[in-house]
Amino acid sequence: MTMFDANYAGESEANQKASAKTILVNGKRYPVTSEPDTPLLFVLRDEIGLTGTKYGCGEGQCGACTVVVNGVARRSCLTPLADAFGKSITTIEGLERDGNLHPVQAAFIQADAFQCAYCTSGMIMSSVALLEKNPNPSDGEIVAGLQGNICRCGAHPRIVDAVRIAAKGAKKQSAASATVVPVLRTSARTTEVATLYSANAAQARGTSEGAL
């Protein structure tokens, strides 16, 4: 047995003795042995194995680690384990019920509100907390409610769409619209510049009017 293995066994025993404490996550009680000052994020991810909650900065700046504690969105990276005892914690894994997605989860899929999706757990948890407090938020309130969550891929407009959809069950309506303009012109290179400009302008104008 190596030095390392001896240490490993030693700490495990010590941990077992100290394991009287439990935390309540997604309605289930988990025994925990981490030090009370351990960030809840690491307890969730490494001790309990719920890795849906993400590390993004460890500084409460990015919101990737957002969980809901007693109905309030909290940054689990800045929440010590000691503060989680006796409270009800909901993580991204706790939203799905009997195979049915939470309306916010379903809305994120409907709005295609992610690219790499690493921020998605935190975005969804922040949105869930926002909607529980304010079931019918204005666009400004959605933006303010998500201001603490960073998305680096630039899915913001679709995330706002998703929250709108979840709030109202409304039709997908986008602040970030896109128009696809089919351009079927194969003789571009031979066309006179002036003609091309007016033709293009008319074509583009026509299409955008049609789209609006």
Partner 1 sequence: MQPAIEAERYELRAAPVHRFDLARRDFFKLLGAGVAVFCVATRTTNAQESGRGGHRRDDEDEPKDITSWLHIGEDGVVTAFTGKVEIGQNIRTSLAQSVADELHVPFESVRMVMGDTALTPFDMGTFGSRTTPTMAPQLRRVANAARDLLIQEAAKEWGVATANLVARDAKVTDPGSGRTITYAKLATGKLLAKDLPDADPITPAPDWTVAGKAISKVDARDFVTGRHQYTTDLRPTGLIYGKVLRPTSFGAKLISLDTTAAQAMPGVKVVRDGDFVGVTALSEGAAARAIAALKANWSETKQPSSRELFSYLKNNVEEGEDARGGKVTGSVDDGLSQAAHKLSQTYTVEYIAHTPLEPRAAVAEWKDGGVTVWTGTQRPFGVREELSDAFHLPKEKIRVIVPDTGSAYGGKHTGDAAVEAARLARNAGHPVKLVWTREEEFTWAYFRPAGVIDVRGGITADGTLTAWEFHNYNSGGSGIGIPYVVPNQRVQFHETKSPLRQGSYRGLAATANHFARECAIDELAHAAGIDPLEFRLKNIPDSRLRDVFVAAATKFGWPAKKTAEGQGFGMGGGIEKAGYVATCAEVAVDRASGSVRIVRVVTAFECGAIVNPDGLRHQVIGANIMGLGGALFEAIAFENGRITNPHFAKYRVPRFKDVPEIEAVLLDRKDIPSAGAGETPIVGIAPAIGNAIFDAVGVRLRTLPMVPNGLKTEQNA
Q: Which residues 180-199 are close enough to bind partner 1 by CB under 8 A?
A: 180-186, 188-189, 191, 193, 196-197
**Within 10 Å of residue 176's Cβ, how many Cβ atoms?**
11
Q: Does 101 bind partner 1 (CB under 8 A)?
A: yes
Please name the residue that has the structure tokens 């439990």. 22
Q: For CA atoms 68, 71, 72, 78, give the dihedral sign.
A: negative
The pair of three-digit structure tokens given for residue 118, joined into one six-digit string: 């690493």
Which of these ranges, 16-24, 129-137, 153-161, 164-172, lies near partner 1 under the rule CB under 8 A?
153-161
Show contacts with partner 1 in window 102-141 (CB under 8 A).
105-106, 108-109, 112, 114-121, 124
**78-114 residues labelled b (16+ CB within 10 A) or e (exposed):** ebbbeebeebebbbbbbbeeeeeebbbbebbeebebb
Task: State in Å, rounded, how far the first CA of the chain is from the last one.
Answer: 73
Question: What single-letter DSSP state applies at residue 92?
Answer: G
Interface characters, 5-34, with partner 1 (x: CB under 8 A): --xx-xx--x-------------------x
Sites for partner 1 among residues 45-84 (CB under 8 A): 45-47, 49-59, 61-62, 64
Residue 71 C-beta: closest distance to partner 1, Å:
19
Q: Which is nearer to partner 1, 24 or 148 (CB)?
A: 148
State the nearest-atom distance from the C-beta of 19 to partner 1, in Å.
Answer: 14
How near is the Cβ of 38 to partner 1 at its closest, in Å? 5
